[in-house]
Amino acid sequence: MKVCFLGGGNPHALALVRHFTAQDIDCFGIGRGPAKPAPLWQAPKAYRYYQAHLGHEIHAAFMIMDYERPDVMVCFAAQGEGAASFGPQSWRFYDTNCAMLPRVVEQLRMSPYLKRFVQIGTSELYGSCEQPVAEGSPLKPSSPYAVSKAAFDQHLQIMHEVYGFPMQIVRPSNCLTRGMQLHRIVPRAAICAVYGQKLQLHGGGLAKKSFLDSEDLARAVLAVIERGAIGEIYNAGPLEPTPIREVVRCVADRADVPMEKFVEETTARVGEDSTYWLDSSRLRALGWKPRVTLSVAIERIVDWARAYPELAHMPHEYSVTP
């Protein structure tokens, strides 16, 4: 099996690459930017990474695909981050997620080699929920980002129904991995705790999110590729969500730093959902369940932060990339 990762520079894509290559699966990736600095580029040496923008350089991207001829594509390509999708750059989320990606799929429909296209979706399109939501639950996106992700998921479903496009969708909860974006709560908290910086805890950390180590996401995607049905959607998350405040407290414990020493509470973020909680029964029926506990996942992030002191000086604000 040969797997192509679209958005192949994404840190969670790189986590899947590490897991897949350990299983002797041939992997390559295509991404819009160059390889990042070492702390953020946690990829095995065997990984072949090509820089080509799917929007501006689609012909170059397909030349690479036609040369490599992958059996499976795992798509991380997206304009991400719900909070950042509010504001003057909101249109870019639709430009990428609702216009660029369908263009890629339209060309892939004619591919003689592609057997599966696995879209990495998001739990955010279900909106806030007070009980676990299954794949057939109504979509209630509450940010431009979530709306755009929901639209592309539905586009893929139509392409499958009408043309038999071999799509599958995995909707994971919030994933943790070394090398992940520094504005995310766990790496941000780890860096602040380890290097004496201040962490703004929005809304006092009362919102609840479901967290999954990207090693478990890799196992989920592999289960879907190997045993999942074409045309299906699979949620991937833990059994219970965790308040952000408790996540930060766990970071403090792992870093051996009192929480009050580096945390300052601020007002809640605009448009922040109160709870993300997935029903992953369909994926569990394929034999999958999370193996990495939240405490272990957090410990890995704290150890990664300690291993790279330069992280303390890297920018951590999210930026919308054209």
Which of 198, 216, 193 has its CA nearest to residue 302? Answer: 193
Instruction: Give me the pLDDT at residue 180, please.
Output: 94
Instruction: In whole angstroms, give the CA distance from residue 108 to residue 74.
Output: 13
319 pLDDT more than 70: no
Instruction: Give me the pLDDT at residue 297, please.
Output: 97
Provide the 3-class DSSP secondary structure of residue 148.
helix
Instruction: Give me the pLDDT at residue 87, please.
Output: 79
Instruction: In whole angstroms, give the CA distance from residue 322 to residue 320.
Output: 7
Where along the chain do the CATH 3.90.25.10 domains lie? 182-210+240-276+292-313
Instruction: Give me the pLDDT at residue 269, please.
Output: 67
Pair 42, 15: CB distance under 8 Å: yes
Pair 201, 185: CB distance under 8 Å: no
Taking only the tens place, the pLDDT of each residue in 2-45 is 999 999 999 999 999 999 999 999 999 999 999 999 999 999 99
Helices (H), 141-243: 144-163, 185-195, 214-227
Half-sphere exposure of 140 (CA within 13 A, CB side): 12
Phi-psi region of 65 (alpha: psi -120 to 50; beta: other; left: phi over 0): alpha
Provide the 3-class DSSP secondary structure of residue 229.
coil
Mean pLDDT of 148-174: 97
320 pLDDT more than 70: no
Taking only the tens place, the pLDDT of each residue in 191-231 is 999 999 999 998 888 889 999 999 999 999 999 999 999 99
CATH classification number, 182-210+240-276+292-313, choose in 3.40.50.1000, 1.10.3720.10, 3.40.390.10, 3.90.25.10: 3.90.25.10
Instruction: Give me the pLDDT at residue 147, please.
Output: 94
Q: Which CATH class is domain 2-175+212-236?
A: alpha beta
Strand partners, 1: none
Where along the chain do the CATH 3.40.50.720 domains lie? 2-175+212-236
Q: What is the dihedral of CA 216, 180, 152, 133, to 10 degrees?
A: 50
Task: State both tokens at 191.
Answer: 């860096």
Residue 105's pLDDT band, with cuts at 50, 70 and 90, is very high
